[in-house]
Amino acid sequence: MHTEHGTVPADYLEYTRRKGLWIAGALFLVVLLFILAISVGAVSIPPADVVQTLFGAGTSAKWDRIIWNIRLPQALAAIVAGTGLAVAGVAMQSILRNPLASPYTLGISSAGAFGAAVSIIVLGAGKIQSTMANPVTITNPYLTTIIAFFFCMLATAVILLISHLRGASPEVMILTGVALSALFSAGVMFLQYFSSDTQLAAVVFWTFGDVGRSTWETLPFMAVVVAGATLYFLLNRWNYNAIDAGDETAQGLGVSVARVRLAGMTVAALVSAVIVALLGVIGFVGLVCPHMMRRIVGDDQRYLIPGTAVAGAVLLLASDTVARVIVAPYILPVAVLTAFMGAPVFIYLLFRGYKR
């Protein structure tokens, strides 16, 4: 009815095209970082040979082994986990209407850590070895992963149940998450108090998230879950935009806010649980990446979700690469670095304000 004089405005199209270019640029950066990540390490491999090897035309059997068995799964895990944590974060910030929401706000990481502690201390799944390369071995990684995942999902179920009973308000979800987080942290402390030195070390080791833990067996599973979650959030981008405009506006636009909120939280919690269970606790990516992208493409979820997904891959891949070389020959778990890098970047972005 209003279309009589409407045209598609060129300046708006230009504005959205610019956002698209930023995301494409970040995607290109992922490719460059991917090659760099595989190239550097204890044995340095020239980027050209990395590309050749990846395309199946490797010139050295040794490099082949290093790339295919060690560095490629690790780099891919960084991309997948970074993307997963970041999209879970951006979705939760919108659904919970809280800029501090991230996969860790809801106590999912604490639940995972508690699960790992249970498996190591109570069920005896871990012990220590004193080799430089691998100071601690978890003797039964499957058991630890499964128990950690079980507790992550238990925490998720409790949050969703309480939210469902109390009308799925964002405040209830966040406060339940904070309470659960405290409860599971207390549980970890309790178990640690009664553990041996070796068990204690194994628990602490597990808690440091490390993408190097991924293998060709676990990677496809993680990739499918992350891809599915990212697609799900993208499909809901208009619903999240509507919720960002206020619950009542969203309802006026036909969005079933409570349902979108519960379903979105379930997916965000699931993807976080899978990553925490497989790789350990990696902080800050889910919190910082959405805010980095907000400064560049704004709050429109149509660009924010894909942008954040790419930013997550960039941040975790870059962090992991630095973590592997910064104190060589020691290899730091990436979680130590994400917090170190994330915090100053975050504060810098806050001061710098929005990109116009």
Partner 1 sequence: MTTMLSVNELKFMYRNKDVLREIGFSIEQGTVVAVLGPNGVGKTTLLKCLNRILKPRKGSVLLDEENLLELGTMDIARRVGYVPQRVETGRLTAFDAVLLGRRPHIGWDVTSRDLAIVDAIFTKLGMEPLRLSYIDEMSGGELQKVAIARALVQEPKVLLLDEPTSNLDLKNQVEILNTIREIVRDHNIAAIMTMHDLNQALRFADRFIFIKDGTVHIHGACDIVTPPVIEEVYGLPVMIGELGGVRCVVPASCNGT
Asked if 351 is part of the footprint of partner 1 (rule: CB under 8 A), the reply reads no
Separation CA 33–CA 322 (nearest Å): 11
Measured in whole angstroms, the distance separating CA 68 from the mean position of its chain's CA atoms is 23
| β partners of residue 127 | 137
Tell me the three state secondary structure of residue 208: strand
**Interacting residue with partner 1 among 56, 167, 254, 344 (CB under 8 A):** 254
| Minimum distance, C-beta of residue 318 to partner 1, in the bound complex (Å) | 25
**Interacting residue with partner 1 among 69, 186, 256, 347 (CB under 8 A):** 256
CB-wise, 37 or 257, nearer to partner 1? Answer: 257
Site for partner 1 in 94-153 (CB under 8 A): 97
CB-wise, 54 or 245, nearer to partner 1? Answer: 245
**Interacting residue with partner 1 among 164, 252, 330, 347 (CB under 8 A):** 252
CA proximity to 158, closest of 177, 140, 186: 177
CA proximity to 260, closest of 233, 288, 282, 283: 233
Q: Which residues does 3 contact at the CB level (< 8 Å), separation at least 6?
A: none
Site for partner 1 in 166-205 (CB under 8 A): none
Separation CA 162–CA 214 (nearest Å): 33
CB-wise, 203 or 255, nearer to partner 1? Answer: 255
Site for partner 1 in 284-303 (CB under 8 A): 294, 298-300
Burial of 350 (0-12, 13-18, 19+ CB in 10 A): exposed
Element (H, E) at 137: strand 136-137
Asked if 28 is part of the footprint of partner 1 (rule: CB under 8 A), the reply reads no
Separation CA 322–CA 41 (nearest Å): 10
How many binding residues for partner 1 (CB under 8 A)? 32
**Interacting residue with partner 1 among 154, 172, 175, 253 (CB under 8 A):** 253
CB-wise, 5 or 17, nearer to partner 1? Answer: 5
Element (H, E) at 291: helix 285-297
285 contacts 89 by C-beta, under 8 angstroms: yes
CB-wise, 222 or 287, nearer to partner 1? Answer: 287
| Minimum distance, C-beta of residue 301 to partner 1, in the bound complex (Å) | 10
The stretch near partner 1 (CB under 8 A) out of 125-133, 243-251, 261-269, 270-278 is: 243-251
Binding marks (x or -) toward partner 1, 8..27, rule CB under 8 A? xx-xx--x------------
For the chain, the distance separating the N- and C-terminal CA atoms, rounded to the nearest angstrom, is: 34
Which stretches of the chain bind partner 1, using CB under 8 A? 1-9, 11-12, 15, 97, 238, 241-242, 244-246, 248-249, 251-256, 294, 298-300, 354
